[in-house]
Structure 1
Amino acid sequence: MPSELKRLHHSGQSHFITFTCYWRRPHMESAGACEMFVAALERARVRYRFRVYGFVVMPEHVHLLISEPERETVANAIQSLKISSSLRTAAERECDGRRSPLWQKRYYDRNIRDYDEFVEKLRYFHRNPVKRGLVERAEDWKWSSFRHYAQREDCGVEIESRWTADKRKTADA
């Protein structure tokens, strides 16, 4: 996003976030890098108190669907997530004895205005691994929240959905 553009944040809106590996290199193609990113996302979710509605980690980019953080701003939460995941995957990015950055400096942030757009973004990025030919079925891609929605499986990040809300209500009763 050009530096002269301002980010618009409206309380209560969800955010569709995309950020890309430096020079679109496939730094996230190893299971180790993906595991570290998912762990960093969960730590950021807890630290900044935002809800994760969905995510997918692709070899050279990440998509997130999150709420506005209760602590700090989306920008601060994303910066922290990118730094944390960069530090933990630095050794995997060494090339010719030099480390390259993990992420491009900027990221894309779109405010989600309604339920239809929310569902469209979630479907879009859950289908991304299939569209790219990485797997035949979305549930086969381990680095995504799709299995949470389709099979109610743990994906390493607490996903805010109808099922997690129901579990909280049952636990509080």
Structure 2
Amino acid sequence: MRYRRADVAGATYFFTVNLLNRKQTLLTNHIDTLRSCIKTVKQRHPFHIDAMVILPDHLHAIWTLPPGDSDFAKRWMLIKTAFSRLLPKHEIINQSRKSKRERGIWQRRYWEHLIRDDLDYQRHVDYIHYNPVKHSYVDKAVDWPYSSIHRFIEKGIISSDWGVGETMNDLDMGEC
């Protein structure tokens, strides 16, 4: 059975991408490498990063693709491959991954969600920005360095005390 993904050109999508070993901290330990890989792919295959948070073992992102383009899968494959190739080989690689010439760094699949409307978009942006608090990395969302929340604050979209004293339920994140 082939996995079916959303396929809407020029749409906005929410993603969750995980490391295979959720106890690793590769994404934040190698943040500059990850950023460089994303930048390179973005230059060759343009897309807009609406919001993003990078945690030690997973990341969440909202991307808007260019008109006429729905190939987010290629972009994620290129990012994951480039990042993997730049890391030293320390992981245990099972036979299935060896036969496909894969590293044991990323989960093969990822979660994508087609953003439906403005409320859905806002809920997912809030989810992204609140995620470091949810996972107890920080007490305030603004304190997490690997988040687009800083861009939102600089632009005056939200205040620097956004989410303080709130829970995910208080922020009305719905079904994220």
TM-score by length of 1: 0.74
Residue 41 of structure 1, aligned match among 25, 38, 42: 38
CA distance in 2, matches of 1:72, 1:118: 18
Residue 80 of structure 1, aligned match among 78, 88, 102: 78
Is 1:94 aligned with 2:90?
yes
User: Could you tell me how far 1:102 is from its partner in structure 2?
Assistant: 1.7
Alpha carbons of structure 1 residues 21 and 67: separation in structure 2 relative to 1, 3 Å: same
Residue 143 of structure 2, aligned match among 133, 140, 144: 140
CA distance in 2, matches of 1:36, 1:113: 32
Ranges of 4+ aligned residues in structure 1 off by more than 3 Å: 69-72
User: Could you tell me how far 1:141 is from its partner in structure 2?
Assistant: 1.0
Q: 1 or 2, which has the higher helix percentage?
A: 1
**How many residues get paired?**
146
- Residue in 1 aligned with 2:134? 131
CA distance in 2, matches of 1:43, 1:76: 13
Q: Show CA shifts across 1:46-100 (max 9, x none).
A: 2111111011111111111001256671110110011111122x22x6258xxx6
User: Could you tell me how far 1:109 is from its partner in structure 2?
Assistant: 1.1
Amino acid at match of 1:37: L
- Residue in 2 aligned with 1:168? none
Alpha carbons of structure 1 residues 30 and 124: separation in structure 2 relative to 1, 3 Å: closer
Conserved 8 A contact 2:8-2:70: no
Unaligned runs of 5+ in 1: 153-173
CA RMSD of aligned residues (A): 2.4
Unaligned runs of 5+ in 2: 93-102, 156-176
Q: How many percent of aligned residue pairs carry the same amino acid?
A: 24
User: Could you tell me how far 1:121 is from its partner in structure 2?
Assistant: 0.5
CA distance in 2, matches of 1:13, 1:109: 12
Amino acid at match of 1:131: K
CA distance in 2, matches of 1:26, 1:151: 31
Conserved 8 A contact 1:48-1:72: no
